[in-house]
Amino acid sequence: MGGKEEEYVKEAFDTNWIAPLGHNVNAFELEMSDYLNIKSATALSAGTAAIHLSLIINGVKAGDEVICQTFTFSGSANPIAYQQAKPIFVDSEKESWNIDPVLLEEAITDRKKKTGKYPSAVIAVHLYGQSAKIDEIVSICRKYKIPLIEDAAEALGASFKGKKLGTFGDIGILSFNGNKILTTSGGGMLVSDNTEFTKKAKYLATQARDDARHYEHSQIGYNYRMSNVLAGIGRGQLLVLENRVERKRQIFDKYFNAFGRVRGITFQPELKDSKGNRWLTTILLDPKESATDREKIRLELNKYNIESRPLWKPMHLQPVFKGCDNYVNKTSEKMFDQGLCLPSDTKMTDAQLDEIIEIIAGLLKI
């Protein structure tokens, strides 16, 4: 926590707005819209809820196909199944580790050939806080008139050509899960320059209550709004977001200075003209080139009670999505085999970081 969160939470208690609406919710939406320089935002209970509502708002229904980056967390893809739509998974390129625009266009045109219809939406992700090739992805989606849902769950505070990630798609989504750069313990947001979308999201997230004196419903709704107490935490967190991005980038620089030139190690790259938030510092270890491998490092750190984790297992390899069509090129499979998320918490001291670096350097024999 940054310090101010409790004041906003206290305000919710003092005014007795312990509810999924209130001043903090409205203010958090406005402050986030200002920060992102986008017209509107709807605060929700989770990033997953934001993706689910984005699909509904874009008319995705049972049997439709939705393209999703395969190299991601399951929260990106599960909402496709909530709609009984079919996920089509597309692999990543090596320059940002995010969805490959060439493969994306290939997938779109191939689906049209195979089904007679274009996919109903595309979900692109800025994984680990690093920008995807978003200009190209936007142009492809416009060319085929397919709505783009930009999953910026891990990328709050990052930008491409000076424009904040999450503001490129028809709808952007954010996550404030406990592990994210800004947290409300759990929470999310749907953001858009189209105010009809955020209005519709608010309506659907409050059980789709129609405008009437009594409780009238003409559509199925959801209980997806953010609590006024948690929005208070979010407001306080927003005040320290820029500091957190800078600290995350310092942590990356420290690892990169130590291992950036070591044979067999590749760091997640940063696209030209982009500034990632380096939510997690992630590396690949080529066991043929290196004195060690991913698992050896992970297990050695574990001995010191230091947690590191493999990269996301691609969705097309997940048992739950077995049989879904995919357009893959082995990039995400290699990343899953060789990739490691290094400890990246902004609370770590430089001394703790040095300790981690020393342990890894020992295995690398440098």
Residues near ligand PLP (CB under 6 A): 46-48, 72-73, 75-76, 125, 151, 153-154, 175, 177, 188
Shorter beta-carbon distance to ligand PLP: residue 107 or 155: 155
Q: How far is CA 226 from the centre of its chain?
A: 18
Q: How far is the CB of 288 from ligand PLP (least distance, A)?
A: 30
For residues 175 and 47, the answer to whether their CB atoms sit within 8 Å is yes
Shorter beta-carbon distance to ligand PLP: residue 153 or 324: 153
Q: How far is the CB of 155 from ligand PLP (least distance, A)?
A: 8
Between CA 198 and CA 200 the distance in angstroms is 5
Q: How far is the CB of 333 from ligand PLP (least distance, A)?
A: 18
Shorter beta-carbon distance to ligand PLP: residue 48 or 198: 48
Q: How far is the CB of 69 from ligand PLP (least distance, A)?
A: 9
Q: How far is the CB of 177 from ligand PLP (least distance, A)?
A: 4
Of 73, 106, 69, which Cα lies nearest the Cα of 89? 69
Q: How far is the CB of 265 from ligand PLP (least distance, A)?
A: 24
State the CB neighbour count (10 A cutoff) for residue 177: 19
For residues 89 and 327, the answer to whether their CB atoms sit within 8 Å is yes
What SS3 class is residue 93? coil
For residues 232 and 5, the answer to whether their CB atoms sit within 8 Å is yes
Structure tokens at 169: 């798609």
Q: In this chain, which residue has its C-beta nearest to ligand PLP?
A: 47
Shorter beta-carbon distance to ligand PLP: residue 41 or 125: 125
Q: Give the angle subtended at the CA of 253 by the CAs of 252 and 259, to the nearest 5°.
A: 90
Of 267, 280, 272, 266, which Cα lies nearest the Cα of 308? 280
Shorter beta-carbon distance to ligand PLP: residue 210 or 345: 345
Between CA 181 and CA 242 the distance in angstroms is 10
Shorter beta-carbon distance to ligand PLP: residue 172 or 188: 188
For residues 125 and 99, the answer to whether their CB atoms sit within 8 Å is yes
